[in-house]
Amino acid sequence: MPTTGEEVGTPPGPRSVAGLLLAAGGGRRMGGPKALLDDPSGGTFLERGLRVLRASGCDPVVVVLGAGAPEAQPLATGADTVVVAHDWAQGQSASLRAGLEAVSASAADAVVVLLVDLPDVGPDVVRRVLAATDGGGPASLARAAYAGVPGHPVVIGRDHWAGVLDVLEGDRGARDYLAAHPHATVECGDLAGGEDADTPADLG
């Protein structure tokens, strides 16, 4: 029988991890919005990205559209929230800002940020990066790497969201924040190449 009067601690409950798919770019070198590209596994790049986040256990899932939004929006049925970044042409920072602001309205402890143009990045990559953050707590900060080269997805805990928003600029996304803060780099080169599909030749 306890005599100290101290309560026995209980383990934290399951983490709530949101998924954020950035799909706003115009795909200038691709010849059109990447969200609308046909995916070899079926559907479009947009639909594939949403499936990856869902299969990874992310909930809620938010997608940010921009270029081609009227055509892409009907394809985003796998998302809980669809945000249109009307200033998408300013670069990745605009869509990340819109997405983080939308995710902030949820109860999520962390968010997985995934780009729409990573055709070989699957749920196994997302799950590995999340596992390196103890399941995605509010202090989480981690990113995938491929053969040592940093890439996506990136996991950002709620404690970091305000700081990321403060430094967003141009097409740099969360890069500057990650450079200034300790974070886990999770090697995933055995699971995927992690390369952006920027031109038709990349779809090979």
User: Tens of pLDDT along the chain (204 residues)?
Assistant: 333 333 444 344 567 999 999 999 876 766 678 899 988 888 999 999 999 999 999 999 999 999 999 999 999 999 999 999 999 988 889 999 999 999 999 999 999 999 999 999 999 999 999 999 977 899 999 999 999 999 999 999 999 999 999 999 877 779 899 999 999 999 999 999 998 766 555 565
Decide if 46 contacts 75 (C-beta within 8 A): yes
Partners of 156 in the beta sheet?
111, 141
Q: Report helix, strand or coil for 156.
A: strand
Q: Report the distance separating Cα 153 and Cα 130, nearest Å.
A: 10
Minimal CA–CA distance to 144: which of 162, 165, 121?
121
- Amino acid identity at 183: H
Which two tokens mark 110? 């962390």
Q: For residue 46, give the 3-state DSSP assignment.
A: helix
pLDDT the model gives residue 9: 42
Residue among 202, 121, 119, 197 at smallest CA distance from 154: 121
- Per-residue confidence (pLDDT) for residue 172, from 0 to 100: 77
Question: How far is it, in rounded angstroms, from Cα 46 to Cα 48?
Answer: 5
Whole-angstrom CA distances from 130 to 1, 18, 27 are: 39, 11, 29
pLDDT at 109: 97
